Amino acid sequence: MIIDESWQAVKVQCYGGYKGEETPLSFQMGGRRHKIKKVLEGWYEGEKKDSLALRRVFRVVIERGNHYMLVYDNLTDEWYAQATDDFTRGIAGSR
Protein backbone atom coordinates (compact mmCIF):
# COMPACT_ATOMS: atom_id res chain seq x y z
CA MET A 1 0.00 0.00 0.00
CA ILE A 2 1.33 3.41 -0.98
CA ILE A 3 0.40 6.46 1.06
CA ASP A 4 0.00 9.25 -1.51
CA GLU A 5 -1.87 12.56 -1.78
CA SER A 6 -5.22 10.75 -1.71
CA TRP A 7 -4.62 10.00 1.99
CA GLN A 8 -5.09 12.61 4.71
CA ALA A 9 -3.05 12.86 7.92
CA VAL A 10 -5.38 12.46 10.92
CA LYS A 11 -5.29 12.28 14.70
CA VAL A 12 -6.57 8.97 16.05
CA GLN A 13 -7.71 8.04 19.53
CA CYS A 14 -7.08 4.39 20.30
CA TYR A 15 -7.70 1.75 22.89
CA GLY A 16 -4.26 1.18 24.41
CA GLY A 17 -3.43 -2.48 24.91
CA TYR A 18 -0.30 -4.39 25.78
CA LYS A 19 1.20 -3.55 22.38
CA GLY A 20 0.59 0.19 22.76
CA GLU A 21 -2.07 1.92 20.70
CA GLU A 22 -4.00 -0.99 19.27
CA THR A 23 -7.58 -0.39 18.22
CA PRO A 24 -8.82 2.94 16.82
CA LEU A 25 -11.87 4.36 18.62
CA SER A 26 -12.24 7.67 16.77
CA PHE A 27 -10.31 10.00 14.48
CA GLN A 28 -10.22 13.69 13.76
CA MET A 29 -10.24 14.86 10.16
CA GLY A 30 -11.18 18.22 8.69
CA GLY A 31 -11.82 19.69 12.12
CA ARG A 32 -14.41 17.02 12.86
CA ARG A 33 -14.28 14.03 15.20
CA HIS A 34 -15.52 10.75 13.71
CA LYS A 35 -16.44 8.01 16.20
CA ILE A 36 -15.77 4.51 14.91
CA LYS A 37 -18.83 2.30 15.05
CA LYS A 38 -17.09 -0.90 13.96
CA VAL A 39 -13.63 -2.14 13.00
CA LEU A 40 -14.30 -4.47 10.08
CA GLU A 41 -10.76 -5.76 9.73
CA GLY A 42 -7.22 -5.03 10.85
CA TRP A 43 -3.85 -6.32 9.69
CA TYR A 44 -0.12 -5.69 9.73
CA GLU A 45 1.71 -4.74 6.58
CA GLY A 46 5.32 -4.42 5.47
CA GLU A 47 8.64 -5.67 6.77
CA LYS A 48 9.24 -5.76 10.48
CA LYS A 49 11.78 -3.44 12.05
CA ASP A 50 12.66 -3.85 15.72
CA SER A 51 9.83 -6.43 15.96
CA LEU A 52 7.23 -3.89 14.71
CA ALA A 53 5.44 -4.14 11.38
CA LEU A 54 5.91 -1.17 9.08
CA ARG A 55 2.18 -0.34 9.15
CA ARG A 56 -1.09 -1.27 10.83
CA VAL A 57 -4.14 -1.04 8.60
CA PHE A 58 -7.79 -0.93 9.65
CA ARG A 59 -11.04 -0.98 7.70
CA VAL A 60 -13.64 0.87 9.74
CA VAL A 61 -17.21 2.17 9.67
CA ILE A 62 -17.96 5.44 11.44
CA GLU A 63 -21.25 6.28 13.18
CA ARG A 64 -22.60 8.07 10.09
CA GLY A 65 -22.13 4.85 8.08
CA ASN A 66 -19.18 6.00 5.98
CA HIS A 67 -16.30 3.58 5.42
CA TYR A 68 -12.64 4.49 5.89
CA MET A 69 -9.21 2.92 5.74
CA LEU A 70 -6.94 3.99 8.60
CA VAL A 71 -3.20 3.38 8.43
CA TYR A 72 -0.70 3.80 11.25
CA ASP A 73 2.91 4.19 10.07
CA ASN A 74 5.33 2.91 12.74
CA LEU A 75 8.31 4.68 11.19
CA THR A 76 6.79 8.17 11.26
CA ASP A 77 4.36 7.62 14.18
CA GLU A 78 1.61 9.12 11.98
CA TRP A 79 -1.95 8.08 11.14
CA TYR A 80 -3.56 8.48 7.70
CA ALA A 81 -7.17 8.08 6.54
CA GLN A 82 -8.89 7.58 3.23
CA ALA A 83 -12.64 7.43 2.64
CA THR A 84 -13.74 4.48 0.58
CA ASP A 85 -17.08 3.20 -0.63
CA ASP A 86 -16.00 -0.06 -2.17
CA PHE A 87 -13.63 -2.16 -0.09
CA THR A 88 -13.32 -4.83 -2.74
CA ARG A 89 -11.82 -2.40 -5.28
CA GLY A 90 -8.04 -2.23 -4.96
CA ILE A 91 -7.77 -3.74 -1.50
CA ALA A 92 -7.87 -7.46 -2.13
CA GLY A 93 -4.70 -7.30 -4.21
CA SER A 94 -2.88 -4.77 -2.06
CA ARG A 95 -2.09 -6.99 0.91
Q: pLDDT digit string (tens) for 74-92?
A: 888 899 999 997 544 444 4
Q: pLDDT digit string (tens) for 15-50?
A: 876 655 578 999 999 899 999 999 999 998 887 666
**Whether this model's pTM surpasses 0.85:** no
Q: Any idea which of 11-15, 36-40, 47-51, 53-57 has the lowest mean pLDDT?
A: 47-51
Judged by DSSP in three states, 94 sits in coil
